[in-house]
């Protein structure tokens, strides 16, 4: 193994083409990931041989620190990962399945990294104990499948959506718990004039706050360092001035949030004065299923990617204007078209209700940060119909072009598992197969439902096989009982 690595170091990388260099990077990454799985096997073997205690290290973590000269954090991370995806022997010497079998398989094949494993384990540790075994298995399966093509940074976000689906009412976290945990603490002002702030806000305040920040905390707005930066009068600002202010804005997201709240509070704005954001009034947009509304259970989703329990959502919507959106069998809005290039407010509402966020695979941007994109370009004859519109955030929207490195969008046909949904095709350096892919990150429910169906079919097939074996065994036993004894002479 070491000789093979040494041979690689002796080779020059200069003769490689760009495509060959990228493929070499992929190959090395895949090998690194598979070796991580091998590290887990070696760690478990050492533990089952009692090497830590025999060498005086006492714990596996200390054994790794002393033997491999790794840090305490690295050793602890390896031990925890091995507990999650490793295969141990039970007291009878039989191999036990890993705690996270789908994650273990993905790591062994080199499809995911140690960071993916760590993120999945953290999410699974948060799954309530009251969740059924089938739901728990489906959640781990979905996380592992997402990790094969997604970033470790997004595992927690996808996990939050899965947990919200598994426990939409927050049954294990009651309204009383949320009321007890809510609070904002403004700390003592320091000599430099700054004051720390910390706390936890409930779903209602989050749903009210998100639309304000989505509009006023954008780059270029409410910037105290730029005298030409528009404040709360953004709706009447010159688009050219807005673009110039955004280019000159070097504040962090946290600083933009701070300055937006300052501008809003200073102006004394109320809901009617907040103007529009991407063609929609700056207000809380809630989407809830009719079945959840009738049962007074479940959760509503917001245009900013949050969730609000149905009872709280109904209280928020007391003085609102309700809209009824009708979807087809694939979960897409029925026809809603117009002759102009820009999507109408009604079309945006339908897109928000159906898609919930950016449609590019791997992107978690909520609907409030998205524009309506023409799947078939408007300049190439694409209509501004609901069937030709999809949500795309500004960053992902800019990736769609016909030049080198550009992404493409297509609508899935009727033979697809998700007909009518928009698939994105990555450039060749990202996906050499150019396979059209769908973003399921905003819809964990649809994947969980499909996985649960497969699990139930598998379990029923195993039960039927077990019943068949029992019938055959009973039949053989009955035949042996009914067979007359052999009385022939020897």
For the chain, list residues with pLDDT below 70: 168-177, 189, 232, 268-284, 304, 316, 318-343, 482-490
Residue with tokens 């010497």: 93
- Give the dihedral sign, CA 157/160/162/168: negative
pLDDT in the model for residue 210 = 86
100, 85 Cβ separation under 8 angstroms? yes
Tell me the helices (H) and strands (E) count for the chain, helix number first. Answer: 18, 13
pLDDT in the model for residue 488 = 59
Residue 94 tokens read as 């039989």
Contact residues for 13 (Cβ-Cβ < 8 A; gap 6+): 21, 24
Nearest to 323 by CA among 363, 362, 350: 350
d(CA 36, CA 25): 17
409, 445 Cβ separation under 8 angstroms? no
Nearest to 173 by CA among 234, 231, 130: 130
- The answer to whether the predicted template modeling score (pTM) of the entire model surpasses 0.75 is no
pLDDT in the model for residue 490 = 47
CA of residue 348 relative to chain centroid, distance: 23
Residue 284 tokens read as 């809380």
d(CA 386, CA 409): 15
Eight-state DSSP code of residue 401: -
Residue with tokens 């260099």: 21
d(CA 85, CA 111): 14
Between strands 197-200 and 183-186, the pairing is antiparallel
Residue 276 bridge partners (DSSP): 281
């Amino acid at each position: 193994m070491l000789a093979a690595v040494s041979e690689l170091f002796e080779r020059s990388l200069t003769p490689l083409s760009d495509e060959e260099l990228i493929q070499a990077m992929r190959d090395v990454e895949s090998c690194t990931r598979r070796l991580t799985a091998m590290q887990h096997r070696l760690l478990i073997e050492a533990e089952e041989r009692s090497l830590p205690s025999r060498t005086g290290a006492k714990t596996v973590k200390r054994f790794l620190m002393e033997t491999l000269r790794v840090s305490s954090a690295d050793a602890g991370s390896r031990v925890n990962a091995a507990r999650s995806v490793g295969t141990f022997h039970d007291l009878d010497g039989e191999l036990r399945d890993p705690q996270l079998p789908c994650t273990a398989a993905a790591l062994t094949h080199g499809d995911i990294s140690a960071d993916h494993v760590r993120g999945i384990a953290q999410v699974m540790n948060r799954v309530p104990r009251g969740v059924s075994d089938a739901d728990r298995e489906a959640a781990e399966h979905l996380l592992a499948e997402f990790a094969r093509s997604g970033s470790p940074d997004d595992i927690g976000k996808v996990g939050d959506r899965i947990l919200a689906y598994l426990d939409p009412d927050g049954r294990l976290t009651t309204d009383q718990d949320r009321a007890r945990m809510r609070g904002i603490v403004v700390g003592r002002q320091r000599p430099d004039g700054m004051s720390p702030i910390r706390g936890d806000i409930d779903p209602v305040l989050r749903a009210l706050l998100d639309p304000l920040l989505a509009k006023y905390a954008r780059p270029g707005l409410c910037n105290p360092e730029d005298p030409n930066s528009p404040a709360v009068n953004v709706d009447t600002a010159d688009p050219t001035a807005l673009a110039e202010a955004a280019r000159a804005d070097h504040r962090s997201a946290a600083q933009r949030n701070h300055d937006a709240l300052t501008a809003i509070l200073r102006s004394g704005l109320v809901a009617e004065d907040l103007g529009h954001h991407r063609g929609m009034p700056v207000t809380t947009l809630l989407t809830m299923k009719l079945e959840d509304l009738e049962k007074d259970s479940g959760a509503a989703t917001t245009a900013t990617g949050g969730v609000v329990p149905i009872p709280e959502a109904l209280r928020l919507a007391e003085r609102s204007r309700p809209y009824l959106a009708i979807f087809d069998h694939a979960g897409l809005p029925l026809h809603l078209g117009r002759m102009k290039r820009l999507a109408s407010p009604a079309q945006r509402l339908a897109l928000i209700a159906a898609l919930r966020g950016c449609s590019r695979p791997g992107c978690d941007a909520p609907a409030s940060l998205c524009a309506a994109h023409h799947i078939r370009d408007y300049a190439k004859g694409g209509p501004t119909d609901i069937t030709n519109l999809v949500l795309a955030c500004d960053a992902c929207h800019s990736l769609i072009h016909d030049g080198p490195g550009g992404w493409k969008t297509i609508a899935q046909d009727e033979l697809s598992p998700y007909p009518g949904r928009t698939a994105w095709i990555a450039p060749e350096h990202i996906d050499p197969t150019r396979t059209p892919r769908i973003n399921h990150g905003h819809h964990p429910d649809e994947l969980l439902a499909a996985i649960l169906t497969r699990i139930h079919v598998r379990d029923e097939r195993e039960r039927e096989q077990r019943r068949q074996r029992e019938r055959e065994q009973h039949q053989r036993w009955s035949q042996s009982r009914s067979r007359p004894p052999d009385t022939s002479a020897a």
